Amino acid sequence: MNKTYARNSLKMTIDVVRAVRQKIVAVCRKLGIGMCLRTVLLIFCLTFFWVQLHMSDVSDNETIQILAKPDGLLDANDSMLQLVPQRLHKYLVALPQRDRPHQAILPGNASEQVPATVNVTELRKLIDQQNSKQVVFNEDVYGPLQNDSLVIVIQVHTRIMYLRHTIVSLARARGIENALLIFSHDHYDEQINELIQMIDFCKTMQIFYPYSIQTHPDSFPGESPDDCPRDIPKSEAIKRKCINAMHPDQYGHYREAKFTQTKHHWWWKANRVFNELDVVNNYSGPILFLEDDHYVAEDFIYMLKLMEKSCSIVCPQCSILSLGTYLKTYNFYGEAKKDILRVIRRQQIFAAELTPPSWSFKIVPSFSHYDKAEISQWISSKHNMGMAYNRTVWKQIVKCAGTFCKYDDYNWDWSLQGVSNNCLSHEFKVFVLKAPRVFHIGECGVHHKKSCFDMALIAKVQKLLSSVYKYLYPDKLEVTYAPIKKKVLRKGNGGWGDVRDHELCMRMVNHQW
């Protein structure tokens, strides 16, 4: 997920820079050097104006201070524990560390470092048992699942430090007592299990992905000694007679287990929840999909209900609800930019302030947007966070299992884009909130070699949410339409060429795993 996001935002940045440069070059050719300099200056000024304009939306002084604070660890008085109510501290502080609370929430001994001395046979047995029991915790307290409850599925890997904060944010959400939280694990970890079993604010359940690398350390779907190394040429692979020699991806690389696992897990989890869990069997409402490094706003359940209601009226063709997009991403309004260039050509400098932005950094959601939602095409890189859809939609996706499972991309969201573009009769439409209610707090998780658990980012999100408190729980949604873009046919990012992956993925449909 992180990888996709980083690549996409990088790509978007490059696209934007390239597009701007091409425009500038084109304008320069037309107008000559002197004019060109003026144009560049003007674009700079317009950008500046726009950022000013945007920042003035941030009507709260405190928020600006939050944004001005450099990332990095917080000072002791600004500590995370002070931002979190006392009753929720138990989720942040690991049991053996209760006497040293700061140690617990600082980076360091995440559960990745648990030694791999587990007995794999035992582990598989344990996972099978737990999966077949389908225990729902706290059902005695909160009662059975109703159609107007909410099912939330959280895909969990190993990053317990983020999961702690995800849980805290869920605990603070209004209406959470009616929800069922399903945690889907691809790594069995006692610490994580303990943490989840501590949850007492709603019903919970744990499911375990049975084809993990952890339970298959030296055979498929993990890595086996007979696998071809990622980077050898096909001819060399054939000579070596390694097992998947005939099936590199479209870029000539062989599979890497740790990258294929995320897509398998996503697919398995959705199949498992919709088709096989007894507790969800009679439930017809939306299911919300989160990850272990998502932080939710207090009103996210309220907003989801509001979206559901409003969607049935304004956009019955929208099949996916999305609680938000990424922060710190580019906004690129192609049409608006043309307007600006037109303005520039006419040299109507003073009209410039009235022109909508041509491009911008989206720093924080503008607070005037807290009651706005947008109807748009579903775009994997923008709308993959906090997605909710119901069984009807899931059935459509499953009908396209072949497309999903054979699409040469190891990212589930790009594969779903493939389904949307190439298999469905109408591509997915999404109903998305303009000011997100789900935040990605694990931004620097995967690619940074160093441990960079970013408490400042988490604190920032918390402070942002408390500073916009009065904008939460809007009475109604104001709906806008995103411009329809041309369908972009993409080849996929590769990493998914191995027929064994295709077959495993297909077997997960209808309980054949």
Ligand X SMILES: *[C@@H]1O[C@H](CO)[C@@H](O)[C@H](O)[C@H]1NC(C)=O
As annotated, the binding site for substrate includes: 155-159, 186, 261-265
Residue 430 to residue 412: CA distance in whole angstroms: 17
- Cite the annotated binding site by residue number: 155-159, 186, 261-265, 293, 440
CA dist 394 to 116, 275, 346, 388, Å? 36, 10, 51, 10
Amino acid 117 reads T
**Segment lying near ligand X (by CB under 6 A), choices 104-112, 290-298, 433-441, 486-494:** 104-112
Asked if residue 316 binds ligand X (CB under 6 A), the reply is yes
Pairing type for strands 372-377 and 478-481 reads: parallel
Residue 319 makes contact with ligand X by CB under 6 A: yes
Q: How far is the CB of 316 from ligand X (least distance, A)?
A: 6
If one asks whether residue 103 binds ligand X (CB under 6 A), the answer comes out as yes
| Pair 373, 307: CB distance under 8 Å | yes
User: Measured from the CB atom, is 155 or 319 closer to ligand X?
Assistant: 319
Count CB neighbours of 440 within 10 A: 24
Q: Which of residues 494-513 bind ligand X (CB under 6 A)?
A: none
Quote the tokens at residue 282.
């009679």
Minimum distance from CB of 196 to ligand X (Å)? 21
Q: Which is nearer to ligand X, 331 or 451 (CB)?
A: 451
Residues 256-285 that bind ligand X (CB under 6 A): 278-279, 281-282, 284
Binding mask 326-365 for ligand X (x = CB under 6 A): ----------------------------------------
Which of 383, 377, 463 has its CA nearest to residue 426?
A: 377
Closest-CA residue to 155 (of 57, 50, 287): 287
Q: How far is the CB of 78 from ligand X (least distance, A)?
A: 8
For ligand X, the closer CB: 129 or 146: 146
Angle of the 391-399 helix axis to the 257-271 helix axis, nearest 10:
130
Largest CA distance in the chain: 76
Within 13 Å, how many C-alpha atoms sit on residue 50's CB side? 21
Upstream peptide bond of 221 is cis (omega within 30 degrees of 0): yes
Residue 140 engages ligand X in binding (rule: CB under 6 A): no
* Burial of 6 (C-beta count, 10 Å sphere; 0-12/13-18/19+): middle
Of residues 153-182, which lie at the interface with ligand X (CB under 6 A)? Answer: none
Report the binding-site residues for Mn(2+). Answer: 293, 440
- Helix, strand or coil, per DSSP, at residue 481: strand
Q: How far apart are CA 6 and CA 413, in angstroms?
A: 14
Q: Shortest approach of ligand X to residue 82 CB, angstroms? A: 10
The tokens for 317 are 């063709």
Q: Does 425 bind ligand X (CB under 6 A)?
A: no
Residue 28: CB minimum distance to ligand X, A: 42
Give the integer Cα–Cα distance in Å for 477 and 67: 27
In the bound state with ligand X, the residue whose beta carbon lies nearer, of 76 and 488, is 76
368 forms part of the interface with ligand X (CB under 6 A): no
Q: Which strand ranges, in their side-by-side order, compose the sheet holding 387-389?
A: 203-208, 179-185, 150-156, 287-291, 387-389, 320-322, 429-433, 372-377, 478-481
Among 158, 214, 262, 390, the residue binding ligand X under the rule CB under 6 A is 390
The correct pick among 29, 33, 116, 122 for binding ligand X (CB under 6 A) is 122
Tell me: does residue 117 bind ligand X (CB under 6 A).
Answer: no
According to the binding rule CB under 6 A, does residue 146 interact with ligand X? Answer: yes
Q: Is 393 in the site for ligand X (CB under 6 A)?
A: yes
Measured over the CA atoms of residue 356, residue 361, residue 362 and residue 367, the dihedral's sign is negative
x-or-dash pattern for ligand X, window 469-488, by CB under 6 A?
--------------------
Q: Please, what is the minimum distance in Å from the beta carbon of residue 393 to ligand X?
A: 5
Binding mask 37-76 for ligand X (x = CB under 6 A): ----------------------xxx-------------xx
Instruction: Return the number of the residue (93 or 341) whose C-beta is nearest ligand X.
Output: 93
Binding-site size for ligand X (CB under 6 A) equals 26
Look-up of token digits 């909130």: 433
Candidate residues 56, 117, 132, 147; the one interacting with ligand X per rule CB under 6 A:
147
Angle ∠(440,443,447) on CA atoms, nearest 5: 150
* Choice from 56, 77, 235, 425 touching ligand X (CB under 6 A): 77
Q: In the complex, which residue's CB is closest to ligand X?
A: 108
Q: Is 33 in the site for ligand X (CB under 6 A)?
A: no
Query: Among residues 181 and 393, whose Cβ is nearest to ligand X?
Result: 393
The helices-and-strands tally (H runs, E runs) of the chain is 19, 13
Write out the residues near ligand X by the rule CB under 6 A: 59-61, 75-77, 103, 106, 108-109, 119, 121-122, 146-147, 278-279, 281-282, 284, 316, 318-319, 390, 392-393
